[in-house]
Each structure stands twice: as C-alpha cells, then as structure tokens.
Amino acid sequence: MASSILRRTFVTQSKLKIGLIPADGIGREVIPAARRVLESLNSGPKFEFVDLDAGFELFQKTGTSLPQDTIDVLKNECQGALFGAVSSPSHKVAGYSSPIVALRKHLDLYANVRPVKSVNSPAFPNQKLLDMLIIRENTECLYIKSEREEVDPKTGLRVAFADRKITEFASKRAGKMAFNMALTRQQLREQVPLEKRFWKQNPKVTIVHKSNVLSITDGLWRESVRSVKGPEYENVDMEEQLVDSMVYRMFREPEAFDVVVAPNLYGDILSDGAAALVGSLGVVPSANVGDNFVMGEPVHGSAPDIAGKGIANPIASIRSAGMLLEHMGYTPQALKIYDAVDAVLADASVLTPDLGGKSSTDDVTEAVLKNLA
C-alpha cells in the first residue's frame, strides 16, 4: 500500500509512546484492533500506549470535547497517536468544537495524507485500477471556524458568514509535501518490475482549486503550490484541476491521478468521495502529518448505527496504524501491516458487513494477525 515514505525529522527509537484516542462510536472498537496489530509486530520498536479522552460524548458529560490533559500528554510525552472517530453534530451546539480539528492545530499536523488504492479482491469485482494519494492541507481554509450570524435590517432574516483563510506559508508546505511524496512513490514503483507496475508515467502532482471564481484565496493557493516546483522536481509533472471537474474526472478516470493536493475543504470532500472507488470508507486510512508528530486516523466516522454491535470494519484503523509507523520511519513494519491487510482482502473469506461479509471486528483483526504471523 505504501502511500509515501518521507525523510522525517523523527529519530527511530527502541520504544514509542503512542496516545490512543478512541473518542466516539466505533472508535472504541477499531482503535483496540489497531493496537493489537502494533503489539503483534515481531520487529521494530516496542510500544507503550496511553489512553486519552476526547469526543462529543465526552463533551456531553463534561462540557469539554478536548481536555487540556490530552493535549499536554500528546505534546510532552508521546511520539505519535491514533484517533478513532468523532460524532460531531451537524447542527450548532453551544460551546462545542471538533476535537480532531483542534488537535491538528495544537500539534501542527499540517497535512492529512490519504492513500486510495485498489485491491485485487473478489469483494470488489468492478473496481477500477487506481493508486492515488490525496494531500489535504489540514490547518486553515474554512476550517478555521470563523463564523458569524447577523440579521438583515431590510428583510429581518438571518444572514450567516464564514471567513476563509489561505496563507502562502501553509500552501507551500502542503505543496512541498505533495511533490516530495510524488518522488518517493516513484522510487517505490521503480522497485517493481515494469510489467507489474500500475503507474508507468512520470510522477505527477495535481493542484486542485477554484481560482476562476475565488481568485484571491484559491488564487493564492494555486500560485503558492505552483511556486514549489523547482529543479529538484524536474521529473515530476504538474497539472491543475478545478475542483468540480476534479470530482467528475476522479470518478470517470481515477487512474489518471497520482498525487492530488487540495485546500482543506476540497481535500476533505475529495478524499471521502474517493473511498467509494475502493469499496468502503471502512478500508481507507489517513495520517495527520507534521514535522515532528504523526496521528493515524481512519477516514470513516463514528457510525452510531452499528456502534457496539461488534461488526465495525477495523481495516482503516489498522492501515492507519501502518501509516503512523511509515511516517515515523519504520518502513518495513508498515509494509508488513499493509501486506497482511491486503492478503485478508484478497482472500475475501473474512469481511465485515460493509464489504458484503458476515464477519465481526474481532474476526477480521484475527485474520490480519494470522497473516502478520
């Protein structure tokens, strides 16, 4: 699966302290599965895990969705973290804000990295071949949550406003990560025999924007990311897509894309939509990546309709644990996790209901552990 293997500032250690934040719903079922997989690795670092609180359910009980203690432990004691899922309401709740959005800012996790790759499995008979990586700028855009509501004096009706923030600094570092990952992915592909490679073109970065309408904010994003391409990326092709045409092309011809980089909101929508191309949100991982900290996070939500039933798909969380290791420099261990998951999907005899199977969360986790062994 290897989405990217960056030259991080992390120094590999014999023991890692990892914060576990299950949060809401099925997060409390899939994060323990990911922990079991990490603990089963017979090479690489040893792990110490610390359980931490956050989430909407915690807010309902205590009035806070992200305790200061959770932030302090992550900043001062942990080298990485796994976050489960949060049940953020779709309507306004006084005093509540999303803990995952806040954590990305507190820990300066400026890129959300989401690989979307097809799997050879009878569970997905009509799946298109694709190997795409979506880089979502993670700290600004509309997600700064600067909103206000006024009353129009002429009509007496309410009017809502939302401020959008795009900076050259954040745009450039997201763009630089995209170009670096394009190079790294190409290096990995070159280790595969040519006849077995899916991507046979030059590495490519696609910049997503809507600067034909939002000429100032998306214009700055577009110009900033384009400016990153220097001589060190001379073998990386660069193209642009308006976000609406990007959605259309992504579903029509996903095989045309390599690394896609987008502002926060567009990246959020694109990466969730891309999950439909590979079967289920339950198999798509992500990593929130900064220069000194990584937090793995499955893409799916808290799924309250199935929470507690033992049928949540743990694959996205297990893959996110692999991404955590990958971005911390433990490449061989990450690849072992990816291969074990791919073997379970290829066999297709042990699948959760979201993939058309009848197996439980524990069944799938045991199958991954068996392949790891």
Handedness of CA 21, 368, 3, 210 (dihedral sign): negative
DSSP strands (E only) in 40-157: 46-51, 80-85, 111-117, 131-137, 141-151
Both 272 and 283 in one domain: the answer is no
pLDDT value of position 362: 97
- The answer to the question of residue 328 being in a domain is yes
Both 109 and 174 in one domain: the answer is no
- The answer to the question of residue 255 being in a domain is yes
pLDDT value of position 299: 87
Range of the structural domain that residue 209 is part of: 140-277
Helix (H) or strand (E) holding 364: helix 361-372
Helices 27-40 and 361-372: angle between axes, nearest 10 degrees = 20
Domain count, the chain: 2
Both 220 and 287 in one domain: the answer is no
Both 107 and 153 in one domain: the answer is no
pLDDT value of position 13: 65
Round to the nearest angstrom and report the end-to-end CA distance of the chain.
19
Both 88 and 203 in one domain: the answer is no
Number of alpha carbons in the 13 Å side-chain half-sphere of residue 92: 6
Phi-psi group of 220: left, alpha or beta (phi > 0 → left; psi -120 to 50 → alpha; rest → beta): alpha
Name the domain boundary from 241, 262, 277: 277
- The answer to the question of residue 5 being in a domain is no
Nearest CA among 322, 327, 317 for reference residue 293: 327
pLDDT value of position 116: 92
Q: Which amino acid is at 284?
A: V
pLDDT value of position 3: 46
- The answer to the question of residue 181 being in a domain is yes
Helices and strands per DSSP (H, E), number in the chain: 11, 12
pLDDT value of position 280: 80
- The answer to the question of residue 263 being in a domain is yes
Measured CA to CA, the distance from residue 342 to residue 275 in angstroms comes to: 16
pLDDT value of position 176: 95
- The answer to the question of residue 201 being in a domain is yes
pLDDT tens digits for the chain (373 residues)? Answer: 544 444 444 555 678 999 999 999 999 999 999 999 999 998 889 999 999 999 999 999 999 999 999 999 999 999 999 999 999 887 888 899 899 989 999 999 999 999 998 877 777 777 788 899 999 999 999 988 899 999 999 999 999 999 999 999 999 999 999 999 999 888 888 877 877 777 778 999 999 999 999 999 999 999 999 999 999 999 999 999 999 999 999 999 999 999 999 999 999 999 989 988 887 888 999 999 999 999 999 988 899 999 999 999 999 999 999 999 999 989 889 989 999 999 999 998 999 998 889 999 999 999 999 999 8
